[in-house]
Each structure stands twice: as structure tokens, then as C-alpha cells.
Amino acid sequence: MKQIILAVAAACALTGCDNKTQTSETEMTPADTLRLRLEAVADSGKVIFGHHDDPVYGHAWAWTDGRSDVLETAGDYPGVMSWDLGGIENGDTANLDGVPFDRMRREIVAQDRRGGINAFSWHLRNAVNNADSWDLSDTTIVHTMLTDTAASAHFDTMLARCADFFNSLRRPDGSKIPVVFRPWHEHTGSWFWWGYRLCTTDDYVALWHRTRQAFDRAGVDNVLWAYSPDRVADIEQYMERYPGDDYVDIMGLDIYHFGGEEGLDTYVSAVDRGLDIARTAADEHHKILAFSETGSESLPMAQWWTDVLLPLLRKGHPAYVVVWRNAWDKPTHYYAPFAGDHSAESFKKFYDDNLTVFATEMQQF
Ligand code: BMA
């Protein structure tokens, strides 16, 4: 599919778009258009910056329209807005961190209009006893969701609600907004009920297949699928639970920096190695590489953006990087700077660097 689209794009560039080309272009799904944009960014050697829940709350503020800690420090919105769908599975009106889904949808439309991208994780409750993502007390949850008749039927309902949300992401002209979806993340760790020690490889892969099939049934054609292990030792571990090329568009990686200066070497070597492994996997399978989650909570190192993250991105060159949320109600839980933060100056230099792409520059891709 990708080759056909690229061939069409090349023909278009050489000869102008004739009717035949136009027909082929209309056959591209919304997801295909996002894939091409991300490939163009990757080809340019640049890296898009992303922040979780950026325009809805930040450090010591919440729900004000138009605000963003990234905007207030860099002067621009992030190129990727990251969101979490936890709660959608139960038909909740707001997600697990209190973000109303209607507000989220409005911000997704705004981000799309300014040329930016939207990406989603899903910290969902389970379909057996409704416990949250971090509840590890039952190590048979995934298996039960796949095999027990009642749990399985409920899981289908949860998937259908999530699929409906993606189908509801529309531009004013009715066309669907393409997004990245990163379900079942950090599965090489064991802190979610779908984690490594909580299910078998077969069950984990079946979970992905089931999710994708439910979305296909619902007609979701605006999602690029991201696979995102946590830190890994080698490519075998990275690929161990890979659901297959037909199910994945983006090879991701989630690695956090713990312990400031003291944890620096551990973080840098884990990211260097992790991005190298994920790059090998992405190249072998013709996928896009992403640094799907990272950050240093409370940003203890004032030069973190320029001295730590920037060199890692320059070396690993993922298409985008996402840092986690600035919680309005947890004063030390923040990963992006805010006005007055001691890392704001380093962040502005990170923004000014040619490597990084924020919302305004996304209009070129
Ligand atoms: C975690 C923390 C939690 C939050 C969860 C889901 O990393 O930020 O406070 O509820 O992600 O967004």
C-alpha cells in the first residue's frame, strides 16, 4: 500500500495531478495521509516535539482555553498533542485524569487545524472486574477477557466505545482526523494488567489482534498503530510480543529518566540502546520510529532539554518524541517546563534548534 501511494505521489510531482492520480489519492485512508506526513518529517531528519494533555491543564492551572505550558515557554504549541482514553471504555464523560472527552475532541480538532498531530494512549480498566490499569492482583485478566464469554462480550463493548471515539474525530468538513493510537503500551514491564508477567505472549498478541479487528469492524480508518515497549536489552526482547506487520505502523519506545544527575548515565545508555534497537526493528519492518514517552519528572536538571534530550534525539532520530503531563493538581508531577521553571531557558533553545518541530513548523509537512 505504502509503495503504491509513494508511486502516486512521485507521479504527481513529475507530471502534475491528472484524473487518474486524483482517483488514487481519494483511495488513501486518513491514516495513510498521516503516515506520509510522519515519513516526510523522518526523511527531513527532524523530530516533532509532543506533550501529554498540553492545552487542557498544566502546572498550577486547569481547563483555561488557549493556555499551554509549552506555548508559555517556547512560544508555540507542541507538534504532537498526546491524550489518554482511560474511561472511554466505560462510557465516562471524562478520562481518568479528569479531561472531558468533548473538550479533548475540541482540542484535537484545533491541533489538527494548526497542522499538528494527535496521539493516544489508553490506561483502561479491565473487562473482568473493572479494576484500573495498575491493578496487578489478578494475573489472569487478559486471558479471561479473551476467553470467558461474558468478559469477552464486555471487552467488545469497551473496544467499540473506543473505536466510536476515533470515528468521531472530524474536521468541520466531516472528514476524519488521522491520529496515532498506542494501545497496550510498556508491555515489557509488569506494571499494567497487560504487562509481561501478567499474560503470555500468545494472549498479548491476541489482545492486539482483537483490538485491531474491532476497530476494522467499526470502520476506523484514521488510526496509525504504535507498538511501544519500555526499556529493552536487545531486539529479541523488543520484538518478542510484536503483533505483526499488518497490525503496527509505528515502532515506539517508552523510557523515563529517573533520579536526575545520578540517574543520567542509566537513562542515556538505556535510550541510546533502546532507540538503536527500535530503529533496527523499524527499518527491518518498514515502520516509523517514535520515542513515544519520556521525561524527567520535576526537571531537576536545568539544562535537560539541550544537554540530555537533544543529543539523544539527534542520535536516535525518531519522527517524534512525547513528554508526559504537567499535572495541575500534583505540584511535582510535571515533565515540560512552565513559565518560571528553571529549565525554561534550555527548553527555548531546544525549541530554537533546527532539529525540533513544533506546531507552526508542522504546516510544512
Ligand atoms: C501516570 C500519571 C498518573 C496518570 C496516568 C494516566 O503516568 O501521570 O497521574 O493518571 O499516567 O494518565
At 53-95, the pLDDT tens digits run 999 999 999 999 999 999 999 999 999 999 999 999 999 999 9
Strand partners, 50: 80, 322
Query: Helix, strand or coil for residue 309?
Result: helix
Specify the residue for cell string 491541533.
111
d(CA 109, CA 1): 27
Question: Is the shortest distance between the CB of 98 and ligand 1 below 6 Å?
Answer: no
Best of 57, 84, 97, 335 for a ligand 1 pocket test (most atoms within 8 Å of beta carbon)? 97
| pTM of the predicted structure, to 2 decimals | 0.93
What's the burial of 35, exposed, middle or buried (CB within 10 Å: 0-12/13-18/19+)?
buried
Question: Does 21 have pLDDT greater than 70?
Answer: no
Number of H helices, E strands in the chain: 13, 12
If you average pLDDT over residues 123-134, what whole number do you get? Answer: 98
Closest by CA position to 239, among listed 278, 195, 295:
278
Residue predicted with more confidence, 293 or 22: 293
Contacts of 298 (CB under 8 A, 6+ apart): 332, 333, 334
Closest by CA position to 119, among listed 70, 183, 71:
183
Which is the closest atom of ligand 1 to the Cα of 333? Answer: 8
- pLDDT (tens digit per residue) in 223-259: 999 999 999 999 999 999 999 999 999 999 999 999 9
Question: Is the shortest distance between the CB of 96 and ligand 1 below 6 Å?
Answer: yes
Whose Cα sits closest to atom 3 in ligand 1? Answer: 97
State the distance between the two ends of the chain, measured CA to CA, in whole angstroms: 20
- pLDDT-derived band at 4, boundaries 50, 70, 90: very low
Question: Is the shortest distance between the CB of 53 and ligand 1 below 6 Å?
Answer: no
CA of 3 to the centre of ligand 1 (A): 38
Best of 96, 293, 323 for a ligand 1 pocket test (most atoms within 8 Å of beta carbon)? 96
